[in-house]
């Protein structure tokens, strides 16, 4: 795995317990035999920020289940431009292209937020899923939710302003890391997430600070008002969260 990002900015959030992977937790509840089959094959690991899990045109060697790590699917253009097209956190898995029969990843998949994850070899997971309907059913539900998230992100990036998109991303990331006290993020990555130049990140963070929702300084962002941040975010945050909660309670 290679590393992509420059030194991090810290985002500080209220204390809360670490998250587990919701898809694996649902599997243990709804298909315990399948969970028992999968458990011995899961390898725990810690991902560093910028670790590249799959390059465009290359297959996923493993399927990843983030716990406190957050992964990003990034589309890169010939002119050097890049934008985030999807994210994966403790609600799901990375590597659905392999599960759907694809031979390669369409986009670059990287760790945007470092943290804990587990993984299983792709071939073992895919072959095992074919004979385990409980596992297959849960992954199918996740794929449905993930594709909805990708579509909503595309609409959000086109129709909503930078400040509300930035608020949405901070909320989504906070949810995915279980409300960890702090997590690293770079200005470079925020620019990719928003689809803007780095100056746009400064504008967005400055607007949220002026509203009293965060404290933005060189090196860190501190959330001061979670409820206010929810009010500042566009409706996409609530739409995506409710969809995942319905499919993967």
> pLDDT tens across 59-84, in order?
889 999 999 999 999 998 888 888 88
Q: For position 10, what pLDDT does the model report?
A: 52
Query: Quick one: pLDDT band at residue 8, thresholds 50, 70, 90?
Result: low
Beta bridge partners of 214: 223
Q: For position 185, what pLDDT does the model report?
A: 79
Q: For position 1, what pLDDT does the model report?
A: 60
Q: For position 72, what pLDDT does the model report?
A: 94
Beta bridge partners of 183: 11
Tokens 């996923």, located at residue: 60
Average pLDDT, the chain: 86
Query: Quick one: pLDDT band at residue 119, thresholds 50, 70, 90?
Result: very high
User: Residue 45: helix, strand or coil by DSSP?
Assistant: strand
For 145-154, what is the mean pLDDT? 93
Distance between CA atoms of 84 and 77, rounded to whole angstroms?
Answer: 12
For 156-175, what is the mean pLDDT? 90
Q: For position 221, what pLDDT does the model report?
A: 75
Beta bridge partners of 52: 110
Query: Is 4 a residue whose pLDDT tops 60?
Result: no
Query: Quick one: pLDDT band at residue 170, thresholds 50, 70, 90?
Result: confident
Q: For position 3, what pLDDT does the model report?
A: 58
Query: What tens digit of pLDDT does each residue of 86-97 get?
Result: 999 999 999 998
Query: Is 198 a residue whose pLDDT tops 70?
Result: yes
- Bridging pattern class, strands 70-76 and 214-217: unpaired
Distance between CA atoms of 14 and 7, rounded to whole angstroms?
Answer: 23
- Which tops the pLDDT comparison, 219 or 192? 192
């Amino acid at each position: 795995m290679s590393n992509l990002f420059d030194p991090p900015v810290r985002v500080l959030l209220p204390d809360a317990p670490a998250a587990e992977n919701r898809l694996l937790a649902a599997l243990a509840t709804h298909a315990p035999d399948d969970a028992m089959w999968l458990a011995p094959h899961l390898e725990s690991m810690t991902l560093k920020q910028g670790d590249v899990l799959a390059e465009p045109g290359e297959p996923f060697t493993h399927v990843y289940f983030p716990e406190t790590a957050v992964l990003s699917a990034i589309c890169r253009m010939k002119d050097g431009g890049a934008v985030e097209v999807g994210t994966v956190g403790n609600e799901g898995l990375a590597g659905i292209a392999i599960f759907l029969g694809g031979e390669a990843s369409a986009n670059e998949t990287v760790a945007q937020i470092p943290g804990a994850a587990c993984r299983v070899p792709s071939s073992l997971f895919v072959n095992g899923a074919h004979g385990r309907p409980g596992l297959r059913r849960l992954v199918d539900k996740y794929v449905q939710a993930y594709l909805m998230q990708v579509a909503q992100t595309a609409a959000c990036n086109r129709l909503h302003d930078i400040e509300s998109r930035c608020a949405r991303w901070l909320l989504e990331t906070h949810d995915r890391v279980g409300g960890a006290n702090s997590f690293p993020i770079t200005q470079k990555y925020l620019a990719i997430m928003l689809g803007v130049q780095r100056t746009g990140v400064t504008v967005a963070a400055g607007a949220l600070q002026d509203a009293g929702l965060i404290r933005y300084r060189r090196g860190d962002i501190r959330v001061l008002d979670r409820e206010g941040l929810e009010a500042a975010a566009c409706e996409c945050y609530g739409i995506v969260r409710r969809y995942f909660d319905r499919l993967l309670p």
